[in-house]
Amino acid sequence: MRRALTFLLWMLLAGGPASAVDLNLPATAVQTREKIRAADTVSLPTGPHTGQTLPSLRLEGRIEIRAWRMPVQRITTLQMLAPLADQLEKSGWDVVFECEAAACGGFDFRFGLPTLPAPDMFLDIFDYRYLLVRRGVGAAREHAAVIVSQSGQTGYVQVLHVTPLPEGQSVAPAPDAAAPQFDLADQLLEAGHVVLEGLDFGSGDNALGPGPYASLVELAAFLAASPQTRVALVGHTDSTGGLEANTPLSRARAEAVMARLVETHGVDPAQIEAHGIGYLAPIAPNSSPEGRERNRRVEVVLLDAGPQ
């Protein structure tokens, strides 16, 4: 009954255009990003993280990712997801897997999700929900993943839709295709800096989790493809503790990322340098756990792009 009432509330508010998976979001929802890959691969979790592995389904096809944010007040992530799940089920989609933050596997599960970077999509590791659905049979089967989260009075929704490629078409580029483009590189070249998403640093800790981290793979690939490019890794902390302690901590985090890039991904040390500025450049308020998590980050700053 509660789920049905929530669905009716959202449908009364709905006014935006339908997405590729025929979802109507509230009229107050604003689309923040759309990313379409004509032919690519993606891995979508099919179960909770076991502590050792994350069961996933590797899919190939046309991948469409869209994100929205909207004002929310006194509404839970379950109430955000429920009307979307109802719409999908009414459209013939079958639920494969659904979970909420702790039951999904917390940090480990979250970092296995293919999410768009902030601020387009923000995911609070303590308050999010994930839904995987499918429709059709055999080679024509589609998959969609819906992720919802919220921070303060803002709700976030991301929908990832995978459509199978036509028979005989491959995700591999043709021999004369243009060089691959990296989304992280596009953002770096456009804005001059970008946050390395998904890095696992605890409060007061300079140890980088084992990974793997997609953002480091993308950065390493970009640097390898452009050997004259130079970047700076800049570490940031939350405001817990004094500046004298946080400045070396932030530098140590940047150095940990630099070491991972060199030792694991084979990046030329001449292309990167590491710095730290403590809590002097926050991107979110330090008054909340999710804000402090966003501020604990390492950014890439473009120093010299070289010939592109």
For the record, the structure tokens of 126 come out as 């303590």
Q: Averaged over 59-66, what is the pLDDT?
A: 92
Tell which residue, 166, 222, 175, has the closest CA to residue 194. 222
Distance CA 183, CA 221 (A): 11
162 within 8 A of 144, measured Cβ to Cβ:
yes
Task: Locate the domains of the chain by residue range.
Answer: 2-163, 183-304
Residue 4: pLDDT band (50, 70, 90) is very low
CATH architecture of 2-163: 3-Layer(aba) Sandwich (3.40)
Helix (H) and strand (E) counts for the chain? Answer: 8, 10
Q: Whole-model pTM above 0.75?
A: no
Q: What is the mean pLDDT of residues 261-284?
A: 92
Instruction: Find out if CATH 3.30.1330.60 is the number for domain 183-304.
Output: yes
C-alpha 91/C-alpha 108 separation (Å) is: 31
Between 14 and 289, the higher pLDDT residue = 289
Residue 79 and residue 65: Cα distance in Å, rounded?
22
**pLDDT of the residue at 170:** 59
Cα 198-199-200 angle, rounded to 5 deg: 110
In this structure, are residues 98 and 148 in contact, taking their beta carbons and an 8 Å threshold? Answer: no
Q: In this structure, how many other beta carbons lie within 10 angstroms of the beta carbon of residue 296?
A: 22
Is a pLDDT exceeding 70 seen at residue 20?
A: no
Chain position carrying tokens 């150095």 = 255
pLDDT tens column, 66-122: 999 999 988 999 999 999 999 999 999 999 999 999 899 877 787 778 888 777 888
**Whole-number Å distance between alpha carbons of 148 and 143:** 17
Mean pLDDT, range 214-228, rounded to an integer: 89
- Number of other residues whose CB lies within 10 A of the CB of residue 124: 20
For residue 62, report the phi and psi dihedrals to the nearest 5 degrees: -80, 125
